[in-house]
RNA sequence: AGGGGAUUAGUGUAACGGUAGCACGAAUGGUUCUGGUCCAUUUAGUCGGGGUUCGAAUCCCUGAUCCCCUGCCA
């Protein structure tokens, strides 16, 4: 079945949207938003949210989705993140058209709304220190107690708040709080802070402001100003919804509906921006776009296609309970897309020299190879064949076990698109290491088929020694050794103790077919019988090719080998 | 005696009182000039206990388990 064509999944969020459309709750409008804080790079978990928000907008007539930066905390946010986020959303294939917004653009409006709330007697300036406020807040089981400043007059509050904005008070000396209910079992309703004083430079507003709005106060207003219909966020904000509703109701402002869904978890992966930042800052990886990172930029550099990621997001569904998706599902979506769309090439990662003894010394055959068996339109190309070749070292065994179908002394195999060859001799060095093979070829099998109908059990990839290009190949494995990287053995250890020391393996001296000379940065290929690879977009040059392994092909031989080894060790 | 949310094969999800289905994974076989792809088959589930009903994953009661909430983060 072609999962790309599978119809749009129905989930509880889409059901709510459909119901609201039916009852004409928002005049038939559907307007969502993706509201990242620009304090890190986007990752595959964000892709789930992006596909949900932009997806819902795209599926409904006239539906819109805004890209909005929730830049209300100047201490953590940077322009670099603003830029990368836009690049990533675009690369994933979505468009916010002309609706690029910043929460910081609404600061003035938010200020006026705050004045309105103060005037209504529903907000007050509080001078408690953060420690005192924490004490006053009470605990999960016990109610809080009122701040001594709770009953300040409207006039005094207005004056104090104006002076907060004017910069008359130092950081942390005062806050503006909503006057709600210090007894509420929901801690978020115990007179939450709306504004704090922060004499910090904001990446967009500079030093225009020294008071900054808190999330709960700001976010609903942002949604309201943009006339969002469905404000989709993650589960941990469920407890904040009463506050979201309270602010908008007290203000009598346009009121979107907040809906919470479960964030994505993936096996062998961390999704916390804080932890990802820790890996980058601590040089555990080569940056946000390291191909081992679950960031969109990392996946892109690794060779993922946007289609694969979008299809993955479609398959995982949307729900209200936490779950952890098997990374194998992501890789399945990847292979499915790459299999259909990547041109094939031959590349020998771990070369073993082969001399075809009965092949003429200076002859070169130009053999025709299929570019993509899944796509006839991709056409064919010529691959040069000559007397000295390289094959994959692991495609030869001197003493092959059962079920090993590849080359061995005296055995005949096919060289893909070329000839049948038979191994006649094995050359070893002083350590007994195989360094060269001698074979004979059957000229009648040119192109790869035997006119007498003779069968071989294996087809090997190869390159011509005189024509091939050298390349570096980077093999990637899971960044963590544990399904759940936070599952740490020792007290005091953290997720970094589960980092996989073999997450990157660099292979030098790989031999690739000459057609790859013109491969463009980021270009994706299937190296036949091995996996999907792409030209590294940062380090590859025409003189020094670098390929990243995006994902290996499924490998049943590896499974058989594992079984055989398991059986062997059982017998012992 | 805090509040909120949730629980369907190994994993992720569907079924909205009417045959528990799909995908991934795993296993087996077939096809194949990639041990890939493709095809076929198999595997395996409603958190427990009560009820309501002709009929319950779905409604009610009850218990268990998991997640979130005491930042001047979002």
Asked if A3 CB < 7 A from strand B, the reply is yes
For residue A192, the model assigns a pLDDT of 98
Q: What's the whole-number mean pLDDT along residues A330-353?
A: 98
Please give the nucleotide, over all strands, whose C1' is closest to the CA of residue A405: B35
A window 382-421: Cβ near strand B (< 7 A): 403-406, 414, 416-417
Res. A1: pLDDT tops 50: no
Res. A5: pLDDT tops 80: no
pLDDT (tens digit per residue) in A382-395? 999 999 999 999 99
Q: How many angstroms from the chain centroid is the CA of residue A309?
A: 8
Report DSSP letters for A262-296, one per residue: PPPEETT----HHHHHHHHHTTSSSSTT-TTS-BH
A window 152-211: Cβ near strand B (< 7 A): 171-175, 185-188, 193, 196-198
What's the CA–C1' distance between A455 and B31, in Å?
15
For residue A17, the model assigns a pLDDT of 96
Q: Quick check: A558 and A376 in contact, CB under 8 A?
A: no
Cα separation, A162 vs A211, in Å, equals: 10
pLDDT band at A9 (very low <50, low <70, confident <90, very high): low
3-state secondary structure of A365: strand
Look up tokens 């290009």; give the residue. A469
The mean pLDDT value of chain A amounts to 96
List the one residue out of A311, A439, A374, A364 whose CA is nearest residue A44: A311
For residue A569, the model assigns a pLDDT of 76
Residue nearest to nucleotide B22 (CA to C1'): A315
For residue A572, the model assigns a pLDDT of 60
Which nucleotides of chain B have an atom under 7 angstroms from any protein CB? 1-8, 10-16, 22-27, 33-39, 66-74
Q: Is the ipTM of this complex over 0.90?
A: yes
Asked if A10 CB < 7 A from strand B, the reply is yes
H or E stretch at A109: helix A107-119
What's the CA–C1' distance between A321 and B64, in Å?
18
A window 266-305: Cβ near strand B (< 7 A): none
A window 213-232: Cβ near strand B (< 7 A): 213-216, 218-219
Cα separation, A500 vs A483, in Å, equals: 11
Say what percent of chain A tops pLDDT 90. Answer: 95
Asked if A552 CB < 7 A from strand B, the reply is no
pLDDT (tens digit per residue) in A108-162? 999 999 999 999 999 999 999 999 999 999 999 999 999 999 999 999 999 999 9
Asked if A507 CB < 7 A from strand B, the reply is no
For residue A4, the model assigns a pLDDT of 32
Q: What's the whole-number mean pLDDT along residues A457-480?
A: 98
pLDDT (tens digit per residue) in A431-449? 999 999 999 999 999 999 9
More confident residue, A77 or A371: A371
Residue nearest to nucleotide B26 (CA to C1'): A559
Residue numbers of A annotated as active site: 37, 263, 273
Asked if A129 CB < 7 A from strand B, the reply is yes
For residue A435, the model assigns a pLDDT of 98
Backbone angles phi, psi at A473, to 5 degrees: -125, 130
Question: Which ranges of A303-403 would DSSP assign to H, the alpha helix?
Answer: 306-316, 327-341
A window 453-472: Cβ near strand B (< 7 A): 458-459
């Amino acid at each position: 079945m072609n999962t790309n064509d599978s119809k749009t999944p129905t989930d509880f969020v889409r059901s709510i949207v459909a119901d609201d459309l039916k009852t004409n709750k928002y005049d038939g409008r559907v307007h969502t938003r993706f509201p990242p804080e620009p304090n890190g790079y986007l990752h595959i978990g964000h892709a789930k949210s992006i596909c949900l928000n932009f997806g819902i907008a795209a599926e409904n007539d006239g539906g819109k989705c805004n890209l909005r930066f929730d830049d209300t905390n100047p201490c953590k946010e940077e322009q670099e993140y603003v830029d990368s986020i836009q690049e990533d959303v675009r690369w994933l294939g979505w468009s916010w058209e002309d609706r690029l917004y910043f929460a910081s653009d609404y600061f003035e409006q938010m200020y006026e709304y705050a004045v309105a709330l103060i005037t209504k007697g529903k907000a007050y300036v509080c001078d408690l220190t953060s420690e005192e406020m924490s004490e006053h807040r009470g605990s999960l089981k016990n109610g809080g107690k009122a701040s001594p400043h709770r009953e300040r007059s409207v006039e005094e509050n207005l004056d104090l708040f104006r002076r907060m904005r004017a910069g008359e008070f130092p950081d942390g000396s005062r806050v503006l709080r909503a006057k709600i209910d210090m007894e509420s079992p929901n801690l978020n309703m115990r007179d939450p802070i709306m504004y704090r004083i922060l004499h910090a430079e904001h990446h967009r507003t500079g030093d225009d402001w020294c008071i900054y709005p808190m999330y709960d106060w700001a976010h609903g207003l942002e949604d309201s100003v943009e006339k969002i219909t469905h404000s989709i966020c993650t589960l941990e904000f469920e407890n904040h919804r009463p506050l979201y509703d309270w602010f908008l109701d007290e203000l009598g402002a346009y009121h979107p509906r907040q809906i919470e869904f479960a964030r994505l978890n993936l096996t062998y992966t961390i999704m916390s921006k804080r932890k990802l930042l820790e890996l980058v800052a601590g040089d555990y990886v080569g940056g946000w776009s390291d191909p081992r990172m679950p960031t969109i930029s990392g996946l892109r550099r690794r060779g993922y296609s946007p289609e694969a990621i979008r299809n993955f997001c479609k398959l995982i569904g949307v729900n209200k309970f936490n779950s952890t998706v098997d990374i194998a599902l992501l890789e399945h979506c990847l292979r499915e897309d790459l299999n259909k769309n990547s041109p094939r090439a031959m590349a020998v990662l771990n070369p073993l020299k082969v001399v075809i003894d009965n092949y003429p010394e200076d002859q070169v055959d130009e053999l025709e190879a299929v570019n993509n068996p899944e796509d006839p339109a991709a056409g064919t190309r010529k691959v040069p064949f000559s007397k000295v070749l390289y094959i994959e070292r692991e495609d030869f065994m001197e003493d092959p076990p059962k079920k090993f179908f590849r080359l061995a002394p005296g055995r005949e195999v096919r060289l893909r698109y070329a000839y049948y060859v038979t191994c006649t001799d094995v050359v070893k060095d002083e350590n007994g290491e195989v360094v060269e093979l001698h074979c004979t070829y059957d000229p009648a099998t040119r192109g790869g088929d035997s006119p007498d109908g003779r069968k071989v059990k294996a087809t090997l990839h190869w390159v011509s020694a005189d024509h091939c290009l050298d390349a570096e190949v980077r093999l990637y494995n899971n960044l963590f050794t544990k399904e759940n990287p936070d599952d740490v053995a020792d007290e005091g250890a953290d997720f970094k103790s589960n980092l996989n020391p073999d997450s990157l393996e660099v292979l030098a001296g790989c031999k690739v077919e000459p057609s790859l000379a013109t491969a463009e940065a980021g270009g994706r290929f299937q190296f036949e019988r091995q996996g999907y690879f792409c030209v590294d977009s940062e380090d590859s040059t025409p003189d020094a090719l670098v390929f990243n392994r995006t994902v290996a092909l499924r490998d049943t031989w590896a499974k058989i080998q594992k079984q055989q080894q398991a059986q062997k060790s059982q017998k012992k």
